[in-house]
Amino acid sequence: MAFIEDLVPLSIVICLFGGIICSAINGRIARRLTITLLGFQIVMNALVLGYTLYLGHEFVYVMGRFPAPWGNELRAGCLEGLMALFFSVIMLLSVTGGIRGQDDDIDPAKMNLYFIMINLMMSSLLALVYTNDLFTAYVFVEINTMAAGALIMIRRNGHTLVAATKYMIMSLLGSGLLLIGISMLYSITGQLLMPDIKEAVAKINASGEYAIPLTVVIGLISVALAIKSALYPFHSWLPEAYGYSTASSSAILSSLVSKGYIFLLIKIFYRVIGLGVMVDHKITNILFIFGIIAMISGSISAIRQTDVRHLIAYSSIAQIGYIYMGIGLGSMAGMVAAIFHIMSHSATKSMLFIAQRGLVEVSGGSKDFSDLKGSAYRNTLAGFAFAVGAFSMVGIPLLSGFTSKVYFAEAAITSVKVKMWIAMITLAVSTILNAVYFIRAVISVYTPRKMEFKDPMYKPARTSAAALVCFVLLNFFLGILSYPIAYTIQTGLGAFG
Amino acid sequence: MSRKRTDYRSTFYSRIENFVNGKEDFLLYKPKGNTEAKQLESLEEELAEAADLLEQREARQKLQDRMAPLDYLKNFHKLYGVVAALVCATMMILLISTVIYLPPFGSPDNPTNNEVIERYIEKGEEETGAVNIVTGLILNYRGFDTMGETHVLFIAASCVMILLLIVEGEEKKSVYANDRYLEPGNDIIIQRVACFLIPVILLFGIYVILNGHLSPGGGFSGGAVIGAGLILHEAAFGFRKTERFFNEHVYKIAKVSALCFYVCCLSYYFYMGAHGYDNHIPLGTPGNIISSGLILFINIFVGTEVACTMYAFYALFRKGGL
């Protein structure tokens, strides 16, 4: 067994360790420790990805002395490696990009608690990506939920407390439904390991025994993860949670927390229930419809916003709609597009949140567009990054958003007639709506003020500048060199079976 | 510059003057000259009050006028309640009717009675060294899940700290002072009972933890028992006496070291297991206190963590700090 295989559990355990140690040390040291650990994460997960690509097939890591159906195990294929690498990169950039925001918003005596949450969040994301066992997934979903709630409420004001309460209520509802779904699935299959469940489900589906519980299980699990990732009718917690928490938290919530759940859902589609069974139960159609509604309604709500944070938050709802639309197409191409959009949206949304923090900083702390006028001239790099992010969300060529829209369109063309037309028309309409609010935002940020006042003492934080440059490069990378990534996703999904 | 007073008529000296001049009987204590003025004053006051009331009523009316278009929200709230009840009822009916279709409880032909359970029951004692199969299952076979579960407790305690921990100096002092002041503290009945109970509770907790692999119980339940004992001690004797042996410092050291050792133990176990190396930790004779390898130690670590978390919850809710 190669040394690199040990890196999979090590990357999870080392984050847990980081969280434990952060609880005993000073906030600033905790931040340094966390950033160093995240750097290590990137290296480790990159090695795992490289190893799986070199190996050409997945490998299984037995956690302990007993093999899979009795003990726990982790599984790493090229798709898991890619997602883990990507999540750790985004996490590192979001944390470093928002350092000044953290200093302003968080009580220094509670700074170390913030980094406990970051570390445990990272470990839970990695565990969700790598796990091969449904119950392990549930345990780490719990950790993820609590950490996300804490990330919202660490900034102490009335709004964040309300937002955290809303988030906890909705998210715990999702957790509860997920747990009921998993326990029902266990009682009809008798297994918790993903491939074993899939075998049993195929048998059940063929024999027709337990048909009703199986349908209920599929519905419960899909709805639970849709609630947790803020699909359209369950999005009410999202704008406040993204709008008032500190910039790093917003970036992490929008680009990692909800995406981790979506990836888990895709994993359940392929590895637990089987895509064929899912399509037979028509759950993909339901997700497709809600995805379509989310694409339109999220954008329309975003047009009404005058607050930059809320605008980005509502745009997130629309983008999550895109991802569910891709999943709802029920084909391999749709899934590839959805996973690619998970990556492209994460990279763009976290960049927008970090960039808006830079713009708000030079506008006297106001998030309103009337005060943000001309802020791009006061903080050039943040303005540039904001513009790049906005163009990427609209779908300007060379940027990641464009590429993912192309993948969606390709996937839609190969699917059934009705879905094709609905998907294509909604894509077009939603692109126009995106353009309406994002271009307006960029224009207002770049409109010079007559009385331009520039604080000569102001200097953008070096860390956030570095993070923004990396984000912009990542965006161009995803936009231009998308083929190898899409190929890796496709291979990984193929290995999912 | 002396100040000129205008209210001479109502003072004590004016009453003496009136008495001397025979206008007023001092013993009856009736300031005759003042009555008219006072009546006027009270009338004016009443008028002002009436005006205030009128103003308030007008303002309320205005507010009601402005709220009038929102009347449809009343209907919305009624509708909301009805729809919410309907959704809940549908969910209940759906879930309960699904349970009817699930395999019957306790039947030997259930899908859950398969080779997985068989091995746990038949070989559990031999492979893990734990007589209590459940402990062997959660701490050895599925150790990774339980590690996650322990961190759920850890993260919950940290979340409560974010919400309730008071760090600012002044506020902290005042809260501490208030809490000390309000504390019942010297209730002799509770103290006497606690003197008897606390050693028994703590001993029982330690017993449950140490026998986790032999009898029902283990780190989670034993830790909760010890935490309850600490809380009883605090409630009977107050924070000052509890802090002598369990303060923030001790809490941090206990929690961090327990979790660190726990993660280290499991990492060692994962590494050795995954690479197929021999087990260096003897399992001992099943049934002895010192047996079952790492399980005993893991139970102790989990117990420490749970006890710390229980007490931390109580202390954070009581006074916003440990």
- Alpha-carbon distance of A258 to A227, in angstroms, equals 10
Give A16→chain B minimum CA distance, Å.
8
pLDDT at B183: 62
Q: Does B84 touch chain A (CB under 8 A)?
A: no
The pLDDT of residue B320 = 79
Q: Each residue of A155-194: pLDDT tens digit?
A: 888 889 999 999 999 999 999 999 999 999 999 998 899 9
Whose tokens are 């956690």? That residue is: A63
CA B152 to chain centroid: 16
CA nearest neighbour of A489 among A89, A85, A196, A131: A85
More confident site: A460 or B246: B246
Q: Does B160 touch chain A (CB under 8 A)?
A: no
Predicted confidence band of residue B63 (pLDDT cuts 50, 70, 90): confident
Query: For residue A60, what is the enclosing H or E element?
Result: strand A59-63
DSSP A269-315: IIIII-HHHHHHTTHHHHHHHHHHHHHHHHHHHHHT--BHHHHHHHH
Number of residues assigned to chain A: 497
Those residues of chain A that have pLDDT short of 70 are: 1, 451-454, 456
Q: Between A17, A72, A200, which is nearest B111 by CB?
A: A200
User: Does the CB of A135 have a partner CB in chain B at under 8 Å?
Assistant: yes
Q: What is the 3-class SS of chain B, one letter each residue?
A: CCCCCCCHHHCHHHHHHHHHHCCCCCCCCCCHHHHHHHHHHHHHHHHHHHHHHHHHHHHHHHHHHHHHHHHHHHHHHHHHHHHHHHHHHHHHHHHHHHHHHCCCCCCCCCCCCCHHHHHHHHHHHHHHCCCCHHHHHHHHHCHHHHHHHHHHHHHHHHHHHHHHCCCCHHHHHHHHHHHHHHCCCCCHHHHHHHHHHHHHHHHHHHHHHHCCCCCCCCHHHHHHHHHHHHHHHHHHHCHHHHCCCCCHHHHHHHHHHHHHHHHHHHHHHHHHHHHCCCCCCCCCCECECCCCCHHHHHHHHHHHHHHHHHHHHHHHHHHCCC
Give the pLDDT score at B5.
66
> Helix (H, G, I), strand (E, B), or coil: what is residue A245?
coil
- Give residue A137's pLDDT: 95
B196: confidence class by pLDDT, cuts 50, 70, 90: very high
Q: How far apart are CA A117 and CA A154, in angstroms?
A: 10
Q: Which of A362-376, A472-486, B163-177, B235-249 has the lowest mean pLDDT?
A: B163-177
Residue B114 is predicted with a pLDDT of 87
Domain ranges of chain A: 1-274, 282-497
Q: A349 to chain B, minimum CA–CA distance in Å?
A: 26
pLDDT tens digits for range A350-403: 999 999 999 998 888 888 888 888 888 888 899 999 999 999 999 999 999 999
Residues of A in contact with B150 (CB under 8 A): none
Cβ(A443)–Cβ(A469) under 8 Å? no
Buried b (16+ CB within 10 A) or exposed e, A371-410: bbbbbbbbbebbbbbbbbbbbbbbbeeebbbbbbbebbee
Q: Answer yes or no: do B263 and A116 touch at CB < 8 A.
A: no
- As given in the structure block, the two tokens for residue A465 are 């500048």
Which residues, other chains included, contact A419 with Cβ-Cβ below 8 Å and sequence gap of 6+?
Answer: A288, A328, A329, A412
Helix, coil or strand: residue A193:
strand
- Write the CA distances from A469 to A211, A327, A386, A464, B316, integer angstroms: 52, 31, 11, 9, 42
What is the value of ipTM here, to two decimals? 0.91
Nearest CA in chain B to A149: B159
Under an 8 A CB cutoff, do A116 and B149 touch? no
Terminal Cα-to-Cα distance of chain A (whole angstroms): 24
| pLDDT value for B23 | 72
Which region holds residue B46: left if phi is over 0, alpha if psi is between -120 and 50, else beta? alpha
Query: Within an 8 Å CB–CB cutoff, is residue B102 touching chain A?
Result: yes
CB A486 within 8 A of CB A427: no
Residue A127, chain B, CB below 8 Å: the answer is yes
A200 near B CB under 8 A: yes
Residues B292-303: b if buried by 16+ CB within 10 A, e if exposed? bbbbbebbbbbb
A-facing residues of B in 19-78 (CB < 8 A) are none
* Chain B nearest CA to A307, separation (Å): 25
Q: Is B94 within 8 Å of chain A by CB? A: yes
Q: Answer whether B116 touches A (CB < 8 Å).
A: yes
For residue A471, what are the contacts with CB-CB under 8 A and spacing of at least 6?
A93, A97, A347, A350, A351, A354, A385, A389
Rounded CA-CA distance A45/A88 in Å is 8
Residue B108 has, within 13 A of its CA and on its CB side, a CA count of: 1
Q: Is B2 exposed, middle or buried, given 0-12, 13-18 or 19+ CB atoms closer than 10 A?
A: exposed
What are the structure tokens assigned to A85, written together?
A: 């690498």
Asked if B167 and A187 come within 8 Å (Cβ–Cβ), the reply is: no
What is the least distance, in Å, from the CA of B73 to any CA of chain A?
18
Closest CA to B256 of B151, B144, B166: B151
The answer for A 35-74 residues in CB contact with B (under 8 A) is 61-66, 69-72
Concatenating the DSSP letter of every residue in A421-475 gives: HHHHHHHHHHHHHHHHHHHHHHHHHHPPPSS----TT----HHHHHHHHHHHHHH
Q: Which of A13, A33, A59, A135 to mutate to test the interface with B (most CBs of B within 10 A)?
A: A13
Q: Are A193 and A73 contacting, i.e. CB atoms less than 8 angstroms apart?
A: yes
Amino acid at A243: G
* pLDDT confidence of residue A491: 92
* Phi, psi for residue B288 in degrees, rounded to 5: -80, 160
- Residue pair B300/B253 in contact (Cβ under 8 Å)? The answer is no
Q: Do A72 and B274 touch (CB under 8 A)?
A: no
Q: Which of residues 262-291 of B touch A (CB under 8 A)?
A: 263, 266-267, 269-275, 279
